[in-house]
Amino acid sequence: MQQALEGWSGRVDLPEDASTRRWHQWVRTPTQGAAPGVALLGFASDEGVRRNHGRVGAVEGPAALRKMLSNLPTLNDTPLYDGGTVACADGDLEAAQQRYAQQMAALLDAGHFAVGLGGGHEIAFATYQGLAKHLGAHRPHVAIINIDAHFDLRKQEQGSSGTPFLQAIEHARALGLPLQYMVYGISRAANTRVLFDTADALGVDYVCDDQLDLLSLAQHLATLRAKLDAVDVVYLTIDIDGLPHAMAPGVSAPAARGVPMEIVEPLLDVIAASGKLKLMDVAELSPPLDRDNVTARVAARLIHRVSHAVVQARQP
């Protein structure tokens, strides 16, 4: 078996073969010409959360996610890569987002399914910019699907963890790139009226947290499938604070209600099964606030589930 990369370690079961393999035994550094696979890219940033007056700590998210991903089993022989981490250590969020976007675009250009490890939700504008760079002159219909309690459509002088989707919408309009923004889990207790007004004016498609229950789940899944039929490319972003506080305590803004895993996972399964999901990220994990690594474990499970489903959807 290959030597584990730095930051990756965990249990080794016998016999050491594909049937006992875990992520820390399989992950390697991407190289030019490497076979397409699942590629991770960290964004270690608290700057957007700080600018948005949230509880800092998300800068430690990428390392915590790698730790929790390490022991998860590989479910197929698809290559797994770790592209490293882009850090925002000097307060220059915009420059860090550009560096991340360049690396994200390179992973997409190489044919990988790219997974961003946040970091605050300012990762979303960086991820979107990476997708836009990858698309170049092409103008497919893109959907950003966000699992979140918050719209993150704030109008501020500086970009922050509260602005990424307004920034993405404005950027896409300037490019002439068709972009649909959808959010599942919006909390009416966590967004001001101006944010709802902004969402309505921009044509944002959203479902509130109290509309997402098991009785209505089948209808929501059918509606989501129909929406996915109308787009060409999907970018999925998961703000882990969109889950209930008991499932995700280690976040900058804990949810009073949130959307539980039994709702979130079927939504993610439909998105992945569409065959249109090109990249995803997970944001707002704050390890200093995460008791017993509960939130990191949940986030790692979602990454594990989605990445495997994407691989299955890509198989002929």
Domains in the chain: boundaries: 18-314
Residue 315: per-residue pLDDT: 85
* Domain 18-314 homologous superfamily, CATH: Ureohydrolase domain (3.40.800.10)
Q: Where residue 1 falls among pLDDT bands split at 50, 70, 90?
A: very low
Distance between CA atoms of 60 and 252, rounded to whole angstroms? 12
Ramachandran angles phi, psi of 226, nearest 5°: -65, -40
Distance between CA atoms of 168 and 163, rounded to whole angstroms? 9
Instruction: Report cis status (omega within 30 of 0) of the bond before 10.
Output: no
Residue 184: per-residue pLDDT: 98
The pairing of beta strand 113-118 with beta strand 179-186:
unpaired
Residue 2: per-residue pLDDT: 56
pLDDT above 70 for 249: yes
28: Cβ contacts below 8 Å, ≥ 6 apart: 2, 5, 79, 80, 81, 82
Q: Residue count of the chain, please give it.
A: 316
Residue 176: per-residue pLDDT: 97
Q: Where residue 3 falls among pLDDT bands split at 50, 70, 90?
A: low
Distance between CA atoms of 140 and 160, rounded to whole angstroms? 27
Average pLDDT over residues 24-31: 96
Task: Give the angle subtended at the CA of 204 by the CAs of 177 and 230, to the nearest 5°.
Answer: 55
The conformation of residue 207, written as its DSSP 8-state character, comes to E
**pLDDT tens digits for range 89-118:** 999 999 999 999 999 999 999 999 999 999
40: Cβ contacts below 8 Å, ≥ 6 apart: 27, 66, 69, 80, 81, 82, 83, 114, 115, 116, 117
166 contacts 187 by C-beta, under 8 angstroms: no
* Amino acid code (one letter) for 3: Q
Q: Where residue 269 falls among pLDDT bands split at 50, 70, 90?
A: very high
3-state secondary structure of 86: strand
Average pLDDT, the chain: 96
Beta strands in the chain (DSSP E): 38-44, 80-87, 113-118, 142-147, 179-186, 205-208, 233-239, 277-283
3-state secondary structure of 67: helix
Instruction: Report cis status (omega within 30 of 0) of the bond before 15.
Output: yes
